[in-house]
Amino acid sequence: MDAAGTMPVHMLKLTKLTPLCDSVFRLDLQTVDAPMRYREGQFLSIRLPDGQLRSYSMASPDRGDGRIELHIRLLPGGQFSEWLRGTAKAGQVLQAYGPFGDCIWRTPSRATTRIVMLATGTGIAPVKALLEKALSQGVTQSISLYWGGSLESDLYQAGHFAALADQHENFTFIPVLTDADGSWQGRRGFVQAAAAEDHPHLADATVYACGSPLMVNAACELLTTTCGLAPDNFLADAFNPAAATSAPLSQAPDVQLDLAHPDGTRSAITVPADGSLMQALAGAHLMQGVCGGNASCGTCRITVATDWINRLAPPDRTERRLLAALDGTQPTDRLACQIPLQPELHGLIIRLQS
C-alpha cells in the first residue's frame, strides 16, 4: 500500500529556478492539473524518487491560478538540495502532496491590537505569504516582522520588506543579525529577544513564528512566560528535518499493535516500544508523517479503539488545535506522532486513516 495513498496529490511543473542568495533558491511552480488551493502559511510536500517527502512552505498568497512560489535553502549533502543544485531544470514535473498546516492567517478580531511575525532563514517564506495576505486585506492592527539571520546577506529579500514598510504605515520590518560585523547599524541577537524587548505586553497580540525549531521553541517559551502572550495566539511552523520520521534504533521491549486498515482488513505488527507511534507506523510503511512529528500536517491521524482512548495521555494544546482544524475529526482520533510508544501500549488497537 502506498502510505501517501489518500493525501491530495498534485503534479507541479517547475517553471523557473532563481538564486535568491548563495544558498537559497526560489522555485516557481505551476500546477499541471487543477490549481492547488491553499491558505497562507501552509506547506506542501514534494515526493523524492525514492518516496521520501520534503516539506516546503508557500511563499506568496494563493492567487487561485495554480502558481506556487517556494524558497528553498540548499543544504550541503541534502537529498533534495543536491537534486536542485545539480539536476533540476525548468520544465521538469514534480509530484507533491498538500496543502498541510494550521499555522495559517487568522483575520484579527477587534480585541487583537498587534501582530508580531518572527522568521529565521527560509522561515520567511510562509511569513511573507501571511504578511502579504494581511496587507492585501487592509488590516489596521500594527504588524511587526522580525527576520533573523547570521549575516546581512542571509536576509535575501530585505529590500522587499523595507519597501512594503515604506508603503504601509502600520507595518514595521526589523532585520536582526547574530554575527554581523561592526558596520551593521541594525538589531543584533535573536529575533524572539528583539520582539520581547519591543513588545513586553502581548496579551492582545497574535504571534506567527516560522523557521528553525530552536527559534520557534524559544520564542513560544519566552513570549508566553514573560510577555503575557496567550499560548493559543502563538501560531508556528518549525522546519524540522525529514529524518524525524525514521524510527530510532532501539533495545526497548517489543509491543504489539492491532491495526484496522481503511479497506476493512486487519493485521498486527510488533515494534520496539520506543519513539512515537507515527515513527513505528512509518517504519512499517503504513503512513508518512509528512511534517516529521511536528503536529502540523495531520497525515498521521488515527482512530483509537474506544476502550484504549482513556489509557493514553490526553492530547496537548497543539495536538488538540490541529485535530480541531482537520475535517471530520472524531472524539477518538489522535495524532500518532504525539503518542510515545511505551510497553503499556502492548495490544493497542487503532484504525488507520490512509
Ligand X SMILES: Cc1cc2nc3c(=O)[nH]c(=O)nc-3n(C[C@H](O)[C@H](O)[C@H](O)COP(=O)(O)OP(=O)(O)OC[C@H]3O[C@@H](n4cnc5c(N)ncnc54)[C@H](O)[C@@H]3O)c2cc1C
Q: Rule CB under 6 A: which residues touch ligand X?
A: 43, 54-57, 71-73, 75-81, 122, 125, 237, 239-242, 291-292, 294, 296
Asked if residue 115 binds ligand FES (CB under 6 A), the reply is no
From the list 13-21, 39-47, 286-294, 344-352, the region that binds ligand FES by CB under 6 A is 286-294
Phi, psi values for residue 322, rounded to 5° = -70, -40
Binding mask 251-280 vs ligand FES (x if CB under 6 A, - otherwise)?
---------------------------x--
Dist CA 245 CA 261 (whole Å): 21
> Minimal distance in Å, beta carbon 121 to ligand X?
7
Asked if residue 335 binds ligand FES (CB under 6 A), the reply is yes
State which of residues 45, 55, 294, 318 lies at the interface with ligand FES (CB under 6 A): 294
Dist CA 89 CA 110 (whole Å): 47
Where residue 51 falls (left for φ over 0; alpha for ψ -120 to 50; beta otherwise) is left
User: Residues, the chain, total?
Assistant: 354
Name which of 1 and 90 has its Cβ closer to ligand FES.
Answer: 1
Asked if residue 99 binds ligand FES (CB under 6 A), the reply is no
Dist CA 168 CA 149 (whole Å): 24
Return the residue matching grid coordinates 524510527.
Answer: 247
Return the residue matching grid coordinates 549533502.
Answer: 77
> Minimal distance in Å, beta carbon 245 to ligand X?
10
Per DSSP, the residues of 144-166 read EEEEEESSGGG-TTHHHHHHHHH
Dist CA 117 CA 206 (whole Å): 8
Interface with ligand FES: number of residues (CB under 6 A): 14
Name which of 124 and 290 has its Cβ closer to ligand FES.
Answer: 290
Asked if residue 291 binds ligand FES (CB under 6 A), the reply is yes
Which positions lie near ligand FES, rule CB under 6 A?
Answer: 278, 289-291, 293-300, 335, 337
